[in-house]
């Protein structure tokens, strides 16, 4: 079956599914809309963690065991920085630095984040379209029992330890969707919109907070399917389950479905949680993506569910 596939994604969990989609449909048919709420300035550099995770994962450059950064990375820059008493809570490998320097240079020359991202995707021959959710700055902040924290301070420096009370996306109200985002969602040729199993509160909500994106999703013709980040009553990695508890929610697919109410038509859930009793359309499969075959299987199951919904 042909047609365009749109996927909303954060970093690690999302990139696994996007890689799966690339195994089951032509990359040229795929448009990934990526969270940029984690983006920040560090040592003067523009860093876009979720876009970078996608670029590294899809090009085979990611350090999968570590869960961030590049495979075979070297650390001369970081060693030199430490010797100068530079801030060292955020690690920047030498190869990773090349991306941040080039992106920062392009932005300083008046180019957009979209243009920088497209340049990297083209340089690495990825085939698919990778669109930031917005070219405008949107910054996720978490208010925690340890005070208000910009996202990377919470996520990297504090390792998600503080209890989260609320989350906000600074700048979202003034932001515009990046070129191509609304068009992709509304394109009559789009046959499925998939929300990756990224953290719904920290990775997908920032995308939905950009004015126009939620509205376009509400008005779209294509079926919208989310892949649940819950596997066996837990999150596979990261703070999703802890965060759900702190927000007073059970770590259940019901809570995920309720969170996406009005946005999704159906939810793909893991076989370990199948007995939960969901009252929205859903399908069940093993959603744990360890191998490339797993990624392809989950991608295919999400597209099959979308096709079922479309009737």
Nearer to ligand GDP, 188 or 250 (CB): 250
**Scanning the structure block, which residue is given the tokens 């040229």?**
28
> Can you tell me the distance from the alpha carbon of 195 to that of 260, in angstroms, rounded to the nearest whole number?
10
Residue 107 beta carbon to ligand GDP: minimum distance, rounded to whole angstroms: 21
Residue 275 beta carbon to ligand GDP: minimum distance, rounded to whole angstroms: 17
Nearer to ligand GDP, 81 or 247 (CB): 247
> Residue 10 corresponds to which tokens in the numbers above?
């954060």
> Can you tell me the distance from the alpha carbon of 283 to that of 302, in angstroms, rounded to the nearest whole number?
8
Taking alpha carbons only, the member of 26, 100, 22, 7 closest to residue 60 is 22
Residue 145 beta carbon to ligand GDP: minimum distance, rounded to whole angstroms: 21
Residue, CB closest to ligand GDP = 13
Nearer to ligand GDP, 9 or 114 (CB): 9
Residue 47 beta carbon to ligand GDP: minimum distance, rounded to whole angstroms: 13
Residue 162 beta carbon to ligand GDP: minimum distance, rounded to whole angstroms: 16
> Can you tell me the distance from the alpha carbon of 249 to that of 31, in angstroms, rounded to the nearest whole number?
32
> Residue 295 corresponds to which tokens in the numbers above?
């990624």
Nearer to ligand GDP, 66 or 122 (CB): 66
Q: Site residues (CB under 6 A) for ligand GDP? A: 10-14, 16, 50, 53, 197-199, 203, 227-229, 231, 235-238, 240, 270, 287-289
Element (H, E) at 12: helix 12-24
Nearer to ligand GDP, 111 or 170 (CB): 170
Bridge partners (DSSP) of residue 150 are 141
Nearer to ligand GDP, 209 or 227 (CB): 227
Task: Classify the C-alpha dihedral 12-18-23-28 as positive or negative.
Answer: negative
Residue 191 beta carbon to ligand GDP: minimum distance, rounded to whole angstroms: 22
> Can you tell me the distance from the alpha carbon of 47 to that of 90, in angstroms, rounded to the nearest whole number?
11
């Amino acid at each position: 079956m042909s047609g365009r596939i749109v996927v909303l994604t954060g970093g690690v969990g999302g990139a696994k599914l996007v890689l799966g989609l690339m195994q089951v449909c032509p990359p040229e048919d795929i448009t990934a809309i990526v969270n940029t709420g984690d983006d920040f300035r560090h040592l003067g550099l523009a860093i876009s963690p979720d876009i970078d995770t996608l670029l590294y994962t899809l090009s085979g450059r990611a350090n999968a065991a570590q869960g961030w950064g590049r495979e075979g990375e070297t650390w001369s820059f970081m060693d030199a920085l430490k010797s100068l008493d530079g801030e060292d809570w955020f690690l920047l490998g030498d190869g990773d630095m090349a991306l941040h320097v080039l992106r920062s240079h392009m932005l300083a020359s008046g180019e957009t984040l979209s243009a920088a991202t497209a340049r990297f995707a083209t340089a690495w021959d990825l085939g698919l379209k990778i669109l930031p959710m917005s070219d405008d700055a949107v910054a996720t902040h978490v208010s925690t029992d340890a005070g208000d924290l910009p996202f990377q301070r919470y996520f990297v420096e504090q390792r998600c330890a503080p209890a989260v009370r609320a989350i906000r996306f600074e700048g979202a109200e003034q932001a515009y969707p990046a070129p191509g985002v609304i068009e992709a969602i509304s394109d009559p040729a789009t046959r499925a919109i998939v929300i990756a199993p990224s953290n719904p509160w920290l990775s997908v909500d920032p995308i939905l907070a950009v004015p126009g994106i939620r509205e376009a999703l509400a008005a779209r013709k294509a079926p919208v399917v989310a892949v649940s980040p819950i596997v066996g009553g837990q999150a596979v990695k990261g703070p999703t389950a802890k965060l759900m508890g702190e927000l007073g929610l059970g770590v259940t697919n019901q809570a995920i479905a309720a969170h996406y109410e009005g946005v999704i038509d159906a939810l793909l859930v893991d076989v370990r949680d199948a007995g939960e009793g969901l009252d929205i359309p859903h399908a069940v499969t093993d959603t744990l993506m360890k191998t490339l075959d797993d990624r392809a299987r989950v991608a295919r199951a999400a597209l099959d569910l979308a096709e079922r919904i479309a009737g």
